[in-house]
Chains A and B, each alone.
Chain A
Amino acid sequence: MHLGTLDTVRYGRWLVPALAGAIVAACLVPVGYVLWSAASVGPDEAYDFLVRPRIGELLWNTGRLMVGGVVLSVVFGVCGAWVVERTSLPLAGWWHGALCAPLAIPAFVNGYAWVATTHAVQSYPGTVLVVSLSYYPLVYLPTVAALRRLDPSLEEVAAALGRRPREVFTRVVLPALAPAVLGGALLVGLHLLAEYGALQLLNYPTLTTAILQQYGTAFNGPAATLLASVLLLACLGLLALEMLARGPAHRARVGSGTARPAPRTRLGRWTAPVVLGLGFFVALAVGLPAASLVRWLVKGASAELDLARMLPAAGTSIGLAAVAGLVATAAALPVVWQAVRRRSSWSLGVERAAYTTSALPGVVVALALVTVAISWLPGLYQTLPLLVAAYVILFLPRALVAVRGVLELVPPRLEEVALTLGQSRAGAMRRVTLPLLLPGLVTATALVALAVSTELTATLLLAPIGTTTLATEFWSEASAVAYGAAAPYALALVLLAVPATVLLGRSSRGEAR
């Protein structure tokens, strides 16, 4: 059992747990709303609504999308990371950038581009492929980071003990990658549970699209929240699975900052096929949506660049994304600290609880905050702080996964050493812990910022009146069938996401200095 240094700071004993508890409690507000609203449906009525073929169909669709999407994302992410980090692939740095790029393309843009190209994607395999092409970077990035930090001496020891390269990979490398891969897979799973825009275009009905349809057709809030409670159950299942797979191991290692670069597998005559394969993959994941955006720009009669409209929208998007990214990262710190450094079933439970809300569609979270804010915090209603809070609640898991990934690898002993060398506790935190955490904090901020820049529903309902973002402007034009006019906004979204993507790419390779 480690004793975290922060815990011995006078106020740390209660401040960190209190902060973590308060943050997670705020995150659970939408869950409370869902249960409260669903409870207004009588038990018989609820039974009749939930136990019928349509719901079975939705559950089946949601379940197999999760399995297919998560597995394929893991395959894409892990293979890509291994090829880039551990083989003699030429121009590995460039390929790394290309493999991060899909993060900058909103899933709904990708969905539209694919449907415009071939209707074959409006099927189960097609849907799995398209969502995986959008979300695999959530697995790829942490896997790259873990491969970089992995100490090659472990592999050398295994090899020296007579293991063949393949065995070294499956028995040493893969288990060491597991936490990173699992964290990424969990994020992909949560996103798939809550995804709406892309699935609507791909014509793939899930629980989430059905929730939106309940609001949209029946204007029936209680029925929609009843479906949302089923979604929550699915999310709990996902969290339990990830926890089982993760196991109880501690992974900190002294000297994690100084791992030598691992030796790379020589591709030899496989170089050409691997490069071709990667090229084809990048063309599917990045080239196709980019080409479709350019086609709208060129062909659409309504295509025009109204800078007076675009610049404020872009400014707001950047500002909201940056602020929400920073706030979410700050909020993730105490929650992760509790879960990693004061590991108990309680602190782990608190951390897990923060994930549940992100499985809910944006409209449910937004309506929960509408209901709560207008009754108890009318002064905050439709103001900036409430909007940022909504973003944090929706996207906190992205920050949690990123921060956890680094904190798990920082041994508390380093701080203890700093203390014995005469550093104050604050000094130890500032000069030892924070620098080691920095890559994770950068990743967390960038991941949340990317999600915020494409968020639509909570923005429409909760933003101060008159606020426009690139996502709201894109939606406004696209829903009016003015794809030409919508394209510049989508393109601006993609371009603005490039810096965050570059930051992510660099920090995953330990270059964020």
Chain B
Amino acid sequence: MKPLSAVVVSVSVALLGATLTSCSSDDALVVYNAQHEQLMEELVPAFEKETGIDVELRNGKDLELAAQLVAEGKKSPADVFLTENSPAMAAVEREGLLAKLPEDVTAPIPEQYRPTSNAWTGFVARSTVLVYNTDQITEAELPASMLDLAKPEWKGKVSFSPTGADFQAIVAGVLATQGEEATRTWLEGLKANGTVYDGNNVVLESVNAGESPVGIIYHYYWYRDQAEAGEVSDNSKLHFFGNQDPGAFVSVSGAGVLANAKHKSDAEKFVGYLTGKTGQQGLADSYALEYPLNPEVQLDPPVKKFSELAPPAVAVSDLDSAAVVDMMTEVGFL
């Protein structure tokens, strides 16, 4: 081997060694985190300081980490699982991998936002919204209900991202409030009318660019881009459906403790911290702009107040993701 490449290799091996040895210890609480990393990076140090418990994060997306937990089964090294949407949590619960949470951990969260099984709890929420291009749509033209988007007058005007966990939660909300027949008709109409994108951020970007006049997304994508530079949101505004419309559906991010957790009591403390006032305040103050679910804590303006959202009354336990997937497969989204 030539001297130069020998140097390159030994330097890289040394670098690799140095960066990897610093980070494994057996007593640390292992959190599989599908929530945005930035959110946890603000909360975890505060939790570590308050409790003296070390936390290690494995970051990923709902889909990867849920699939990974299912593949790992009972041998998973994870203690806590955090998701962006409830279906991933429900998928892990279905495999019997979650432990029941103690009463005091879930108590601060309103009952609507946690399953009756108590196998996990919601801790933050995101609201469905309609983002519209302000050059193409006036306020008066906005639909009264998200279900109207399936009507012929919206043909070619609506975009959405049916393939993520986000939209699945929205459809589950429609199914829970409108029943199977109406949901199927709505999905078929939407497929005929709409442009399909992969990802809420892509929908936002296309609406802002005028590719599509309106799009179905979650509220925080728009607020975050506004906080960033407005590059993909300055030509658009948000429309909150309210009125218990299915389009005002609120999807919750879940937190749960694994049944085979090695550090169960620490794990419960961590989830308790997320639902308690300090943790929720930390969430509210963070970059995430998602709604804290503990009623004692509110998000600051300009984000619309949680109490003004008027979402449909759907309990997370009523969301039937299996039926949603069947229906979306039938209609041809999946």
Contacts and interface: CB of A to CB of B under 8 A. Distances in A.
A442 to B, nearest CB: 8
B67 interface: yes
Interface stretch (A2-10, A186-194, A282-290, A475-483): A475-483
Nearest to B210: A119
B68 interface: yes
Given A217-B163, A217-B165, A319 B64 contact: no
Interface residues of B, number: 71
A260 B275 CA distance: 74
Given A323-B13, A466-B56, A216 B164 contact: yes
Contacts of A41: none
B334 A217 contact: yes
A319 B58 contact: no
A105 to B, nearest CB: 20
Nearest to B20: A464
A269 interface: no
Contacts of B294: none
B15 interface: yes
- State the majority secondary structure of interface residues on A: helix
B16 interface: yes
B57 interface: yes
Interface in A482-498: 482-484
B15 A315 contact: yes
A476 B59 contact: yes
A371 B73 CA distance: 9
A91 interface: no
B173 interface: no
Nearest to A220: B325
B334 A218 contact: yes
B332 A319 contact: no
Contacts, number: 183
A472 interface: yes
B163 A216 contact: yes
Interface string B210-224: 010000000001001
A205 B163 CA distance: 11
Interface stretch (A154-162, A177-185, A206-214, A233-241): A206-214
B12 A300 contact: no
Interface residues of A, number: 64
B310 interface: no
A472 B68 contact: no
Nearest to A482: B228
Interface string B154-184: 0000000011110110000000000000000
B195 to A, nearest CB: 8
Given A323-B13, A481-B228, A482-B228, A460 B334 contact: no
B13 A216 contact: no
Interface in A243-273: none
Nearest to B77: A382
Nearest to A217: B168
Given A215-B64, A457-B64, 13 more contacts: A49-B329, A217-B163, A217-B334, A219-B70, A322-B12, A363-B67, A382-B77, A461-B60, A461-B64, A466-B24, A477-B38, A480-B36, A481-B221
24 contacts: A52-B332, A53-B332, A115-B202, A119-B211, A203-B197, A213-B164, A215-B63, A217-B165, A221-B70, A316-B19, A319-B13, A322-B12, A323-B12, A363-B67, A374-B72, A460-B58, A460-B64, A461-B60, A465-B77, A466-B23, A467-B20, A476-B36, A480-B37, A481-B232
* Top-4 shortest CB links A-B: A319-B16, A466-B23, A216-B63, A219-B91
